[in-house]
Each structure stands twice: as C-alpha cells, then as structure tokens.
Chains A and B, each alone.
Chain A
Amino acid sequence: MYNYIQKKSVMIVLLLASMFFSQAGVLASTNSEPMEQLQQSVNNILRILQSEELRVPGKQEERKQLVIEVVEKMFDFRQMARSSMGQHWNTITEEEQDKFVGLFKNLVEERYIGKIDSYNNQQVVYKKQLVKDGKALIYTDIVDKDLEIPIVYRLQEDNGKWLINDLKIENVSLIVNYRRDFDSIIRKEQFEGLVEKITKQLEKSETSN
C-alpha cells in the first residue's frame, strides 16, 4: 500500500514536472509521455493475464493471441528486424526483408511471451524516463520472486506514438543479442540458412507447446 502511494506520488510529481516543462516549451506536445503510453500497454497485458476467465486451460491460445495483439502495437518490429540484421539487411531484397520481419516478430514473441503462462502477479515498477529528440529510455523493474530484474526500454516517437525498438533485461539487449546470433549463422549459411533455421525453430516450439 505504501509503495503504491509512493509510486502514485512519484507519478504526480512527474506529471506536474511535465506540465511545467511543456509550458516552458521544452516538450513539443503534452500527450506524448512515453512512460504513460508504455504503462497503459503493460497494464492492458496485465489485465489479460490476470483475467480469471482466460486462465482456464482451454483458453491458453486465446490468451496468448490477446497478448500478442497488444504487443504488436507496442513494438516497431520492422525497425527491430532491420537493426538485428546489421549490415546484412541491405544485402537482401525487399521481399526477403518483408519475409524476415514476419519471422523475426514470431521469434521475439516466442522468447518473450513464452513465459506468460507462468505469470504469477509479478509487479512492474516504473523508475524513470529520459526523453530527447523523439527518443526515450524507460527504466523499469520487474519484481519476480523477491528479486528485482531491471528492464530498460528504448523507444522512438512515430507520429505521437512511442514504439519500442529494443529492450535490455539485466543489461542484455535483445537486438544486440540477436545480431550476434544471426551473424554467427549468416557467416556460415547465408541469409537462406538463417531463414531456414528460424522457420525450423518456430515449428519446433509450435509442436512443443
């Protein structure tokens, strides 16, 4: 309870601060608080996870789809896929790029949504946000089993909407990690090998679920 009040008061301070700054003309628009947007999306996901109706065994797939729906609006998957390919991105055709974005999206969803079935009322603490030139970093903690796991989101503004283009869990960046991983495959087996591997991997996790 105390924590909640504290968080609330921090939010109010942040809100007041943002109002002050927007008046001073430092921030261009008032409705573009990235942390607020992230919080809303995360709350939507938590609402799905906490819903008693969706917790029954038969509704697992529906639950996952609902979460994916929210997630897809939060992330800029095209930008992420591009950045995870590094210099290899420009060596493939536009068609291949489109195909890769889809595969990449599924892979990331598998890694980060795969754990939702074990969701057990973990708390999210929003620590701070840094905003500059349409880019933002949001620092959060997930409290899981009495342990605080730091997660930092990197976002970019796109027509008033803040989209995540990378996140760091305990300092490990999703994009950097996949870039090394993909690079290790592309070097040996080219882009075709990479596509084949991702497809196989996704099929495997599909059957194991």
Chain B
Amino acid sequence: MLHITLEPISEMHLAYLNKRKCLIRSIGLILFLLLITETVSTAATEPDAAAETARASGEAVQEESAAEDDAWGEDGWEEDWEAPVVLADPLEPINRFFFHFNDRLYYWVLKPVATVYAGFIPEELQIGFRNFFDNLRTPAKAVSSLLQGNVRDSLHEVARFSLNSTAGIIGFGDFAKDVLDLRSSYEDLGQTFAHYGAGGGFYINWPFLGPSNFRDSLGLLGDSYLHPLFFLDAEWGVIIGAWSLDKVNYTALTLGDYELFTKTALDPYAAVKDAYLQYRKGLIENK
C-alpha cells in the first residue's frame, strides 16, 4: 500500500520546485536547440549522397576530407607552417623585469605550494578543479563565439555551461564532453578582436598574469566582466582566492613543464614570448 500524505506546501518549497522546473525546462530547451543546430549544420555541410555514405563508414573519414580541403588550400601548406608572427616589444626592459619577477614567483612560491598541494589532492580532484574553473569561463567563451558570428559554437558553450554546471556537478565533471562529445571552442575576446582584424599591438608581460599583448589584455578585461565571480559581485578576497587556487591547481597538473621549457631555452624571455605568439595565432585561426 502506498501512503500519500498531503502536506501543506510551504512557499519556500514551492519556490524550490519552480526553480527546479525552470532548470529542467531550460536544459530541455538547450538540448532541443542543440539538436536543431546540429541537424541544420550537418545538412548544410553535406550536399551530396557521397558524403552521406562516407559519414556512415566512420566520422573520422569525413573529418579528414573536410580538413584536407582546408590544408590543401591555394596558399600552400609549407609556407603556412612557418608564417611569420611579429610583434613589437617597446616595453622590453619592463617586460623582462616582470618576466624575471614571475620566474622568481614560480620558483619561490608557486612551485613549492603546488608541490605540497599535489601531494595532498589526488589527480582526479585536480582535474575536477581545472574543469570547474574552466566552466566559469564558459559564459565569456559563448559570447565571443557569438560575436564572431559562430552561432553553433556559441550554443555549444551555452549547452556545456548548463549541462556541466548541473549534470557535471557545478563544473567538476565535463559531462558535456564525456557523454555528448561537446567540446569547448576556447574563444575569448582577444581572439574576437583579432577576428575583426585587430593586431596584437605590442607585447606585454604582466606581473602575476604572464605573457599577453595589448589586444589580448583588453580582451581579458572584457572577459572578466562575463566571469560569474564578477557578475555575482563576489568580494575581492574571494576573487583573488579563486584565482590563486586556479593557478596553483593548474601548476600542480603541469609541474615540470615550465622548468623544462625555460631550462632548454637560451633566452627564456624570447622563447616564452614567441611561444605565446604562436599559441595565440593558432587559437585565432582555430587550428
């Protein structure tokens, strides 16, 4: 026998139920929109039946032919491989000073703290934290994708944010990637400016933040307004604490990489600057 007792529903409980309903509805809506955009875009990229059969025999094959078209473009691939990236560095003396500062900061503070941290926190949890902080950056990514006219990627980010914040347990798991194979496009405002033709301006090596340039620094400022901690009006202490944890956690996951790179460079400042330029160029061109 099932007993159903009817209790007077409190207002708080009602609000909670409403909230839940709202959440479930919005997730449903997002999944629906996603389905539509997926269908529309795949229909658009497959003009003939041959592509259809290619797709049936394995997605990787289709991916290959699509990417091949890009890489075998008229420009040639060899030249493209080493396309020059030049960026003015009028602030070099100051930049070098702060590069040295960050380097000391790494060896004296960040590395020891991250080493202890890595000893206590299991790797799975570190990955969880990385996902969590990455998830907080998703609103900014969604906006940048949209500003670059990429509605599909933008919707993917919205879906990633809502799914990972809920089913992914406030962003600790990457549910969207693991289950639905929804990957982040890693867009940001700096890339959006570049998309519309803005150059890097000049190189800036920020204390604490590291390598950047004029354009990307402006972008970073813009992106920060779309960070949940900012629009939830968190206190500065919380923001700095979260930033530090993010940094320590990231360092714990990549312990040794920085040392290896800078110790096998002859002028570490020049090597890091170039790596930043090449890395950003790749992101801007969505390679």
Size category of the B interface is: 35 or more
Q: Mark B42-78, 1 if CB is under 8 A from A, else 0.
A: 0000000000000001101101100110011000011
Q: Report B64 CB to chain A, min CB distance, Å.
A: 5
Could you tell me if A181 and B271 are in contact, using CB atoms closer than 8 angstroms?
yes
Residues of B within 8 A of A111 (CB): 260-261, 264
Residues of A within 8 A of B266 (CB): 181-182, 184-185, 194, 197-198, 201
Docked pose: A130 CA to B78 CA in angstroms: 12
Could you tell me if A173 and B60 are in contact, using CB atoms closer than 8 angstroms?
no
Residues of B within 8 A of A154 (CB): 81
Could you tell me if B263 and A10 are in contact, using CB atoms closer than 8 angstroms?
no
Instruction: Answer yes or no: B256 CB below 8 A from chain A CBs.
Output: yes
Could you tell me if A170 and B279 are in contact, using CB atoms closer than 8 angstroms?
yes
Number of interface residues of A (CB under 8 A): 44
Chain B residue at smallest Cβ distance from A114: B260
Could you tell me if B263 and A137 are in contact, using CB atoms closer than 8 angstroms?
no
Interface of chain B: mostly helix, strand, loop or mixed = helix
Q: Report B50 CB to chain A, min CB distance, Å.
A: 14
Chain A residue at smallest Cβ distance from B82: A176
Q: Report A195 CB to chain B, min CB distance, Å.
A: 10
Instruction: Determine which of A166, A184, A208 lies in contact with B270 in the assembled complex, contact meaning CB atoms within 8 Å.
Output: A184
Evaluate whether A130 and B263 lie within 8 angstroms (CB atoms) in the complex, with A10-B61, A180-B274 already known: no
A148-175 contacts to B (CB < 8 Å): 154, 166, 168, 170-173, 175
Docked pose: A204 CA to B266 CA in angstroms: 12
Chain A residue at smallest Cβ distance from B284: A171
Docked pose: A182 CA to B274 CA in angstroms: 12
Q: Report A200 CB to chain B, min CB distance, Å.
A: 9
Q: Mark B274-287, 1 if CB is under 8 A from A, else 0.
A: 11001101110001
Instruction: Answer yes or no: B40 CB below 8 A from chain A CBs.
Output: no
Instruction: Determine which of B81, B260, B264 lies in contact with A173 in the assembled complex, contact meaning CB atoms within 8 Å.
Output: B81
Evaluate whether A180 and B77 lie within 8 angstroms (CB atoms) in the complex, with A13-B58, A145-B253 already known: no
Could you tell me if A184 and B82 are in contact, using CB atoms closer than 8 angstroms?
no
Could you tell me if B72 and A132 are in contact, using CB atoms closer than 8 angstroms?
yes
Instruction: Answer yes or no: A177 CB below 8 A from chain B CBs.
Output: yes
Instruction: Answer yes or no: B235 CB below 8 A from chain A CBs.
Output: no
Instruction: Determine which of A130, A145, A172, A185 lies in contact with B71 in the assembled complex, contact meaning CB atoms within 8 Å.
Output: A130
Could you tell me if A172 and B278 are in contact, using CB atoms closer than 8 angstroms?
yes
Could you tell me if B58 and A10 are in contact, using CB atoms closer than 8 angstroms?
yes
Instruction: Answer yes or no: B123 CB below 8 A from chain A CBs.
Output: yes
Docked pose: A135 CA to B270 CA in angstroms: 30
Q: Which of B57, B174, B270: most chain A CB closer than 10 A?
A: B270
Residues of B within 8 A of A185 (CB): 266-267
Residues of B within 8 A of A175 (CB): 82
Could you tell me if B275 and A172 are in contact, using CB atoms closer than 8 angstroms?
yes
A-B residue pairs in contact (CB < 8 Å), sample of 15: A10-B61, A111-B261, A118-B256, A130-B71, A132-B77, A145-B126, A171-B279, A172-B274, A172-B282, A177-B271, A181-B270, A181-B274, A184-B267, A185-B266, A201-B264
Q: Which residues of B contact A (CB under 8 A)?
A: 57-58, 60-61, 63-64, 67-68, 71-72, 77-78, 81-82, 123, 126-127, 174, 253, 256-257, 260-261, 263-267, 270-271, 273-275, 278-279, 281-283, 287
In the complex, besides A10-B61, A178-B271, A180-B270, 9 extra interface pairs with C-beta distance below 8 angstroms are A13-B58, A13-B60, A13-B61, A128-B63, A145-B123, A145-B127, A171-B278, A171-B283, A197-B266
